[in-house]
Each structure stands twice: as structure tokens, then as C-alpha cells.
Structure 1
């Protein structure tokens, strides 16, 4: 398949190709100067003459599109040459004298505009484009069929047939060149895509490919080395001829060049010969694509070469890392110095993203990633070559602004390589009391060199990223942000992976010092970038990435040095530091760093609500690890919200206010649960006493949030207070009345007559809900106060009713113990008395809700008397029940009559006035 003498032939071919490219580039510059002179002449003409001149310019431009030969006015050419400091000479390298004289004497008339439908009629399509393309395909197939016929008929021997096929291919190539030079093409409308010389040349190259392959693969007339050379020359020649005949021919030549190694087999493959040949093909194709700005051709060349490299790495038993390094460096250098290099005439390539750069970035990144993560490659030292490729990608991205894809591909490959190592193996998690096993990647060894390689790569990204971000802060902040992001992400990912794989998971002071140093460098780098901004100290995206990376590094440092328990407390306390920094700098990211600290603390307590683990928590009420674990973050979040409200404000302040309120509630709730369950946090469902404390906390939180909102208005405080009240109402309805009601659970209510569970679970929440409803009047929506008032009244009703039952039944009041007649009568009397009490309170407080509640309660008492007492009570109790009901109802009627009469007497003087 490959040969040893390829180096000499390849070098000679490359030299010849460079000479051809230089000559063609010189001619192309001459054409550009002449077209520039024409354009200047047209722009300087009056509007009436500009139309005629534009028509003159279109004709030579169309000819150049078809043939690559300029046909220009001699006067314009002379003017252009004089302007460039060159003596006047022929108009172009291939222009005819007659054409130049005709152009100088009389300009061609402007063509008459025709409708689009007329220009694109079916006759033009069939007579120009389709006829020419089908004819070219027919010529190529004709050569194949001629060889086949001669084989079947036995007219000629194999050598004669192959000679005839080669002569036919050369004749087609010569015919294409003859037509191009003599100018026999007809410039019909719609025929620009039917360039006859290019199609003839492609057909000839196809025929020559077939002849050489048959001579080697079918008949064995020539060896693999000679066949490889011939097919390579044909492919590279077709690519070079594309400068004259168009991109389609270049694509055909590239395809043939890339397929040649598959068609030519060898018993002793030579990787250097293969990739040396591919390097020549890539350099030639990239140079031609750059001259013509053929993006599709450039992308195909990079893709084909990169695919050959990946196939070689996947299919070869022993990979030569120097060969892999060589071809990938050729890809990168071709991208940097040819495709992204200066255009013809010295014009620089555009800075905007160029999609062909993504193809070599992907292929080189995949090769580097394979060298870094493959255990066999690691054992043979391939990881070092992968690191060199990543460093080369970063260097070229630094050198060429138009190659951001190289930076992103290098960063992704570095992070993925170390993440793959960190996530290898299996991981077991406790889930719902069981064991949930998550299978990761197959476990892979972590060579001793990988931490050192990671340190070098991390330092490379850190230094180049911060340096580039600072230099681009004023001129190109978005590009600078790309560099700043990878300057933070790559070293952090490598450091975390090394800690997970080879560090001490409990305490690792060495890596903690590295994390501290990294955070300090990123913080200093962010400040340097901010000072270089225009205007300075704005805190744009680059600064945000650098400071965010510093924050993550400090969190890693705390976890490495102090363990999970103290990390929760210290990260929570550290949330106040970015807020304090807003006194000196107004960077928007500082507030979000406070939010990030809150998120980290929430994630930590979600993993371990006990902060330090259940076995180390202890049973001491209040003064245990829960108090600092939840209390210190709550205080720090509250301080951060207070500080942000006075500096940057914005959404981070609102988030920190919500976090402070949440952790304040969690602090008290967790301490209560710890005390109620003897130091055990996850002991199962809460009791009614514990739930009553949670309800009181939620009601108290609602009142505190209202008070804070009145002093410092905030949407978080406003909606948080409403949410606290609604959550309280839901908890009361669900747990106090149904799920945990001792009437249904038969839970012990305590042995003390008054200070018992009913006081804690019903009377105190009723007072708290009523007080909150009263405090919220005029400060929150009317429905909110009405809801709380109704909940408070219902709790008071439940407390009174259950207290009566406890009076009769004792400590346990389950409903299945039945009802006595005196107990039944007591409920009727109690409900009537409560209804009257609510009526008085409603009139006193001028509360319509309380008056309606009294009416509902009295209606319930009336229904009970008529529907239940009449059948269940006997003797004097039944009579007393009805007598008491009638007296109360009459008293209520008299009360309302007097109330309405007084209201009418008050309104009459007002109307008279």
C-alpha cells in the first residue's frame, strides 16, 4: 500500500505545486488590479454612462468566471499598471490582440434586460447545463465501456487496452485545455454552470484513475509504490487544475486523492508514507481553497485528513504517536498559515467565526482525547502527545482570532479527559433506605504522569486565558470572555478530577493550597481584566467568568481542607464576602456569587440534613451542629441581602432575602425536630406536637416578613409573607384537622388538664392565626386576612370541641369510644356560646368575616339540636337543649334589631346635613 521512496517524489511534487501556485497567484493579483480599475472608472462616471460601463464590466467578469482569463480594456489595463507603478503591457496573460483592439475601439452594447422566466427557460437549461454535464459523464463512462468491450471481445490485450484508456484520458484533458485556451466556449445566458473545459478535464482524470487502478489492482502490471505515485499525481494535478476549471474539479481530485490509499494495497504498510502523502494533498488543497475562497473544498480536505488519522488510530495494532502528532500538526498549521492566513493581495482573513475551522478543531480534539484516555496509549506515553496537541490548538487559537473553535475544542477535550478518569467505575448511593448502584465508565488506571500533565494544561489555559481576556477586554470583550471562561473551567475541572482520583477525600491540605492559589490568581486576573475594560471596572462577562471560577476554587479549598460539615457552615458564612465587596466594586457577578454560595449550601443540606452526619450530631437540644449549620448561613444570607440592597440591588438581593427567610425557618424547624425526636432527624412522620411547632413557625415567619417588608419594601418579602400564610393554612387543614388529629389517631393528649397537646396544637395556632390576620389588615390583600381569620376561628372551634371531649374521655379521645348524653348536650351549648362570642368580636372589630363565621357556627348548632339532640337526648337534657337554643336565637335577634336601630339613628343626622 505504501512505499519507502515516497519522500523524494513527494518533495519534488510539492515543489512543483508551490511553483504553480505562485505563478497562478501572480496572475490572479493582476486580474484583481484590473477589475479594481474598472470599478473605479465606473464609479467616477455620470449615472447615464455608468449603465453602459456596468455592462462592459459584466462581460469580462463572466468570461473570467468560466475560463479564469481576463478580457479587459487595454486603456483600463494601462491605467491600472501606471497606477501600480508598472509599465503598460498586454491586458492579460491569455488575452487575444483582436479582442483587446475591439474592446478599445467600441464598447459592447448593454444587454437588454429579459424577464427571469425567459432567462431560466427549459431550452437554455437543456441546451447548456444538462447537455454539457451529461456529455461529460457519457465520455467518462465511454472510456470504461470501451475497456470492458475490448476485454469481452478479446480484440486487444490488457496492455493495449490500458494504453488506449490512458491515451483517452490524456486526450480529454488536452481537449479541455485546448478549448480553454482558444476560447471556443459560448457565453449563453444560463450556461455559467456548464463549463465545458472543466468537465472534459474531470472526465479525463476519471479515466486516468481507472486505467492506473486496473493496471495495479486487476492485472498487476505495476507495483503498489508506482501505482500510488501515479494516482497521487493525478489527484493533486486535478486539484491544481481547479484554479483554471472551478471547484467541482478540485472536489473530484480531492476525492480521488483520499481514496487512493484504499485502492492501492501493500503487504508492508508504511504510516509515514501514507500521512506524508496526505499532508501534501492537504497543503495543496488548502492553498487552492484559500486562493479561491472555496470553503466547501477546505472543509472536505480537513475532514478527509482527520478521518484518515482517526481510522489509523482505531484500526492499527500499534500506533506510532509521532505519526499522529505529525499529521495533526500539519492539519493545524495548514489551518493557521494557509486557510486562516492572508488573502490574495495581503488582506487579512476575517475575525468572524469561519465554519471550516470547526472541522479540524473536532478531528484534532478527538485524536488528543483518544491519546489522553486510552489505557494502552497512556501506558505507552501517548498522553504526552495528546497534551502537545492540545497545547498546539491553544497556541493557534491565540495566534489566529478567527479560530475560536480550536480553543473550545481544546478545552472540551481537556475537561472530558479528566472527567472520564474521575467518573470511571461504579458509584453507590443510599436511596430511600436502600442502595442505588449507578454504573459508570469501566474503571481505568490513572497513570502517575496524568496529574503533572494536568498541571501543565491547567497552567496553560489559566495563563493564556487571563492574558487574552485582559488584552481583549476593551477591543473584543466577547472573544475575551471565551478565553476567560476556559481559563477558569479547565484548571478547576482538572484539579477536581485529580482530587477525586488520587487525593484524600477527607482532608487534603496540599490540593487545598493549590485550590487557594488558583482562586487567588483568578480573582487577581478578574480585577486586572476589569481595569483594562473601556470604561474600566465595568465587570463584563470576562470578569464574571474569572470571579465565578475564583468562587468555585475557594469552595473546593474549603471542602478539601475542612471536610463536609465545616464546608457547609463556612460557605454559608462566605456568602457575605461578595456582598461586602460591592462596597468597592459594582460588578454584577458579585451578587450572583452570593446566590451561588446559597445554592451550594442548599445542595449540601439536601445531601446531609444533619450537617455532620447522624452519628456525630448528638442529642443535646438546641446547642448542637444544627444551630451553626443552619443559623450561620441564615445570618450571612440576611446580611448579604441587606448589603446588596444598599449597593448593587437587583435580583440577587431578592434571592438572598428569600434564602435568609428560608434558612431562618429551617434553623428553628430542624432544632424542633431534633428535640422532639431525641436527636434523630429522620425518624419518620412527625407528631402533632412537632407539626404544631412548624405551624407556629410558619405563622410567625409570615408576621416577620410583613414587618420587614414594611421597613424595607421587597417583592420577596411581600410574596414570601403571603406564601408563609398560605402554607400555614394548608398545614393546618391537612394535619391539624385530619392526618394528625387525635380524634382520629387516638394520640395521647397529655395528663395535665390545661397545658396539654390541645393547647399547643389548636389554641396557640388559633391565637397566632388571628393575630396575623389582624396585623395583615391593610398591609396585604383582603382575602389573605379573611383566610387567616377563618383558619383561626376554626382552630378555636376545634380546640374547644376537643377540650370538651377530653374532659369527658380523659387522655385518649379517639372517636370510637362513643358519646354520652351530657357530652352531646355540652357540644350544643358550647357551639352556641362560641357563636355568640364570635358575633360580639365581629361587631367589636367591625369584621364581616367574624360575623359570618358566627352565623355559620350558630347554624351548625341549630342543625345539631334539631337533627341529633332530638333523637339522642332524653328527659331534661333534651328540653334544656331546645330552651337554650331558643333563648340564644331570640337574644341574637334582639341584638341585631338594636344594632340596626342605632345605625339608622346615626345615619339620619348625616343625611340631614
Structure 2
């Protein structure tokens, strides 16, 4: 049997290694012979003559036994400093002689005569001669590398995509005839899929440089088998599996096979291309509830790859493929595409139930992928939340606009619950928990604006501001504090707009003809309580300055809301007296030490200023 190129290369390396070992043994014998023949040292002149023609290669003359004895001896005691200095002053000049590979020294002051053989202590290892530098290996032609990468990386992906496109259209348009049995057609598709899968596996095993090519072919085979199983239940002319339960079990089984093989081969290319091509085969087919179920299976496969193998690219591709496929199936007319799905209201909840499952799957991926940095986990969760809210919101606005506020309220509560779970699991203050917290607060506020109108809306938003401020002080959350400021500003803005702009509608918010004085006073009370809480209880947010800016903002918003809302409802003759009374109460409370709200004494004088303007004008 003919040997492969890899086996021949290994055999050549082993032969070269054996030759080098034999040469090393010969050199050891030569070294030993030279050491024996020169046990007695010659005269210095002969030493100098012979040293010129010997190559200074490194040799250890100490045997292992002598080295062990030397290592076993304890170190000598340190000598006095005076004795050491005397020795250094009176030490004679030393001459170093070389003989071959041995180095020893002789004192210049000793009488001439035959020199003693070098002792074991005087031996040392000399550096060998610098070997001749080998020229660097020639670089392969860059054009060949570019052509190889283009042929084995990009063209194979485009080719597999075209093959799968033809595969799907072959199954849909050319194999739907009743002249051939459906079982035979499905078997033929499985054979084609198996051939593609087998060819990719064989190329990956036998051609090392074309491993990527083989993995992409194998991924195409995986996707073809997945679509064939899907078509055996759903495509007309191929439907030999009437039970959706059995078809779903088969799809789950093949998804498990994909996970097992990709995990065994440790191939991220095989996993990512297999999942992506499976989405593609589902996307170019007609959509149905079974298509949504198939996409859910693929998202579960991506979750396994992301958590078990830490393949982030697979999770990212699955996230994009799942939501893009759903958008294509449900909103194809908005995307200027051919509509392929029943978008009637009766199909809303079955279809959007799968959308909720998609969101739950990728939310679990964000929490379970502990290997990802916190920033990347937050990006994954943010994209998942944004896609879910946009698609579900479009569906609710299209089929059930009157119930949109219910969706917003429920989603906000769920997001707050997920935020609390993130704080308990990952610790308070993480970006992931903050992300869900901000979205939850925004959705709940949106629900209030959608359902309520008039003075009840302004009161509720002001009360929400107080609740957020109290929670922010306990949780030490900047997001909750920012939400409290935003809610207070929205409440006052609604009051001012209702008073000056009159009744009307802006987007989804209905404005009334003014706000009653009781609603304006309620806003003043809620925002005043928020300012007092920040000054006395929220040590994490306020300083000990005499006039705290954040407390002043809350008080200023409350005073502005009351002045705008109550001005027209108070009789003209009573306005100066009422506003002077409010200014006096504010000054008294602000100077009361137990109340501890100094800012009220200053900002409350806005009532007195308005009263003076009315009285003088």
C-alpha cells in the first residue's frame, strides 16, 4: 500500500534523527580519547601552539560523580574583611592557558617548570563556536496564498449557498409530481444530503489544507438533511410524515446530531455554517407555525453552542437569523417582499407565542454565558430586547392597538423581575441588570401614558417619580434616580402643555383643557416629598451643602407645576393672598430645623414673587 505524503515526511525526519544520534556518539568517543591522551599537561609554549588549531566547542570535563561530591560539600565560612583585603592586594597576577577544551590558570610568581594538570575546580564550559546562520526559508508566493484562501474560504461558501438554493427549489418545484412516490423522493433527497455530508467529511480528513472546505461542505449537508426532514412534513409532494409531533422529534434529533458532531470535532465553522444554512433553507420556504417551531429548535442549538463551547459567533448568527426570519414571515409586505404567511388576527397569538420563546431563549443565553465579558453580555441582551419589543409592538399595534398598554405594562413588570434576578445572580450595579431595569421603567411609564389622560396621568407620573426616588436610595441605583428625574419632568411638562396648549393629541398622548387645582397641588406634594427624601434619607445622592442642587430641582418642578395648574382655577381677587400664604408656609417649613429642608425657604419665595407681580400689575 502506498504511503501518504505525511507518513513519508515523518519517516525522513526519523532517519535524520537517527543519523544525528550516531554522530553525537562518535563525538563523545573522540572527546573521551582526547581527555585521556592529554592527562599530563605540556609546556606553555606547546599549549599556546595547540590552542590555535582547536575549535572551542563546549565540553564538560567534570564527571557526574565529582559534581555530586562538590554539591554535597557545605559552603566555606566567610573570612574576615581584613584578610580578604590582604589577599586581594598580595594576589599574584594570573595567566590563563588553554589546551583544547580545558582551561586552567597558573600563578605568574611560581617557578618555571612543568605545569600541574588542571584540577577539577578549574574546569569550566567554554562557549561553542557560533554556527553558520541558515538562510530564512523562502516565503510562499502571496498570490498563491490569496488564491488558496479565496478558493477554500469564500468561493466554497458561495457555492454551498447556491447548492442549497437549488436543493430547496428542486424539492419544491421539480419533485412535487405525483408520478413518483413521495417516499422515493424523500429518500433521494436524503441520499443527496448524505453525499454532500460524506464528501465534506472525507475532504476534511484526507486534505489538511482543505479542512475548511470540507467543514463547509459538511455544514451544507447538515442543513440539507434538516430541510429534508422539514419538507417531509410540510412541503407538498414530499409530506410523508403527517404527525407534527413526530416531525418535531426528528428535527430535535437531527439538531442533537449536529451539536454532537460539531462538539466532537471542536469545529466552530461547522456549527456556525450549519446553523446559518439551516435558517436559510427555512427562510426561502413558505412560512408556517412549523417553520417558527423549527427556528426555535435552531435557537436552542445555538444556545448549547454558546454555553457549552463558548462559540459567540454561533449565538450571534442565530440571534440575527431568528428575528430576521420572523420579520420576513410576519412583515414581508413592510419589507417590500412577497408575503408568504397568514397575517390575520387569528394567527397572532400562536405566532407571537414563538416570539416570546425566542426572547426567553436568548435571555437565558445572556445569563448562562458566564465566559463573556459583561459588556458583550449586555450587548447580546440589548439586541434581543430591542428585536423582541419592536416586532411584538408592531404586531400589537397592527392587530390589537387598544390593548397595547397591557402589553407595555406586562413587559415592564417582567423586565423589572429579570433585573431583580440579575442583581441577585450577578450582584447589584451590573450593566446587565441596569439594562433590564431601565427598559422596565420605560415600558411601565409608557403604559401609563397610553391608558391615562388628563390630571390623573400627571398625578400618577409624579407619584411614580417619588417611588423611583425611594427605591434609588435603597438600591443606590443611578438609573432609578435618573428615572425619577425624568418622571418628574414629564409630569410637569404635561401640566404646562395642558394649561397653555389646550386639548389635543400628540402621538399617543391626549392632552386636556387644563389641570384642576387639586391635581396641581398633588404634584406639589409628591415632588416636595421627593425633595425632602433626598435631603434627609438619600445620603448616597446628596451632599451636606446648604443648598443641594438636586433637591432644588425637585422643589422647583413642584412649585412650577402648582403655579401653572392652579393659576387659572383660583379667583383673580384671591390669587395674591393664596400665593403669599404658600410663600409664608414655605418659609416657615424651610427654616424649621426638624424639617431639614432649607431649599424650601428660598424656592418657596417664588409664590411671594408671583403674588407681588399680581398685586403690582
Residue 838 of structure 1, CA deviation = 0.9
> 2:213 pairs with 406, 418, 421, which one?
406
Q: Alpha-carbon deviations, 1:314-353, whole Å to 9, x = none?
A: xxxxxxxxxxxxxxxxxxxxxxxxxxxxxxxxxxxxxxxx
Residue 766 of structure 1, CA deviation = 1.9
1:491 and 2:260 correspond: no
TM-score under structure 2 length normalisation: 0.54
> 2:16 pairs with 1, 16, 32, which one?
32
Contact 1:371 1:385 (8 Å CA) reproduced:
no
Q: Alpha-carbon deviations, 1:594-634, whole Å to 9, x = none?
A: 9967754543433463653445444xxxxx4642x234433
Aligned mates of 2:155, 2:140 — CA distance in 1: 16
Aligned mates of 1:492, 1:638 — CA distance in 2: 32
Q: Alpha-carbon deviations, 1:619-667, whole Å to 9, x = none?
A: xxxxx4642x234433443444444544x42699753564356335524
| Equivalent position of 1:848 in the other structure | 598
1:795 and 2:546 correspond: no
Return closer, same or farther for 1:726/1:703 CA change in 2, 3 Å cut-off: closer
Q: Alpha-carbon deviations, 1:396-452, whole Å to 9, x = none?
A: 3366777663367558989999xxxxxxxxxxxxxxxxxxxxxxxxxxxxx999999
> 2:396 pairs with 587, 608, 612, which one?
612
Provide structure 1 residue ranges, at least 5 long, that are not aligned to the other structure. 1-17, 55-108, 114-188, 194-292, 305-355, 418-446, 473-478, 531-537, 619-623, 677-687, 749-754, 809-822, 873-913
1:839 and 2:594 correspond: no
Return closer, same or farther for 1:368/1:805 CA change in 2, 3 Å cut-off: closer
> 1:633 pairs with 411, 415, 436, which one?
411
Return closer, same or farther for 1:493/1:368 CA change in 2, 3 Å cut-off: closer
Aligned mates of 1:370, 1:464 — CA distance in 2: 24
1:768 and 2:546 correspond: no
> 1:781 pairs with 522, 531, 541, which one?
541
Q: Alpha-carbon deviations, 1:228-254, whole Å to 9, x = none?
A: xxxxxxxxxxxxxxxxxxxxxxxxxxx
Residue 300 of structure 1, CA deviation = 5.5
Q: Alpha-carbon deviations, 1:827-863, whole Å to 9, x = none?
A: 544443322111111123132211222455545656x
Return closer, same or farther for 1:695/1:745 CA change in 2, 3 Å cut-off: same
Q: Alpha-carbon deviations, 1:291-318, whole Å to 9, x = none?
A: xx97726x766876xxxxxxxxxxxxxx
| Equivalent position of 2:471 in the other structure | 705
1:720 and 2:479 correspond: yes
| Paired residues for 1:201-600 under 5 Å | 296=140, 359-371=151-163, 392-393=199-200, 395-397=202-204, 405-406=212-213, 410=217, 462=255, 465-471=258-264, 479-495=266-282, 497-498=283-284, 502-504=285-287, 508-515=288-295, 526=304, 539-541=308-310, 563-565=347-349, 572=356, 599-600=383-384
Aligned mates of 1:604, 1:670 — CA distance in 2: 17
Aligned mates of 1:42, 1:785 — CA distance in 2: 91
Aligned mates of 2:309, 2:54 — CA distance in 1: 49
Aligned mates of 1:831, 1:757 — CA distance in 2: 18
Matched positions, count:
464
Greater length-normalized contact order (CA 8 Å, ≥ 6 residues apart): 2
Aligned mates of 1:804, 1:52 — CA distance in 2: 106
Q: Which moved more, 1:546-555 or 1:663-672?
A: 546-555
1:695 and 2:443 correspond: no
Return closer, same or farther for 1:522/1:388 CA change in 2, 3 Å cut-off: same
Residue 705 of structure 1, CA deviation = 3.1
Contact 1:579 1:644 (8 Å CA) reproduced:
no
| Equivalent position of 2:102 in the other structure | none
More helix by share: 1
SS of aligned partner of 1:781: coil
Contact 2:199 2:218 (8 Å CA) reproduced:
no
Contact 1:804 1:826 (8 Å CA) reproduced:
no
Aligned mates of 2:503, 2:601 — CA distance in 1: 34
Contact 1:838 1:854 (8 Å CA) reproduced:
yes
Aligned mates of 1:483, 1:801 — CA distance in 2: 66
| Equivalent position of 1:271 in the other structure | none
Aligned mates of 1:786, 1:730 — CA distance in 2: 15
Provide structure 2 residue ranges, at least 5 long, that are not aligned to the other structure. 32-50, 59-127, 176-188, 225-234, 241-247, 331-340, 505-512
| Equivalent position of 1:99 in the other structure | none
Return closer, same or farther for 1:373/1:543 CA change in 2, 3 Å cut-off: closer
Residue 541 of structure 1, CA deviation = 0.8
Contact 2:408 2:446 (8 Å CA) reproduced:
no
Aligned mates of 1:601, 1:565 — CA distance in 2: 19
Contact 1:790 1:849 (8 Å CA) reproduced:
no
Residue 736 of structure 1, CA deviation = 3.9
> 1:758 pairs with 513, 516, 531, which one?
516
Aligned mates of 1:43, 1:699 — CA distance in 2: 89
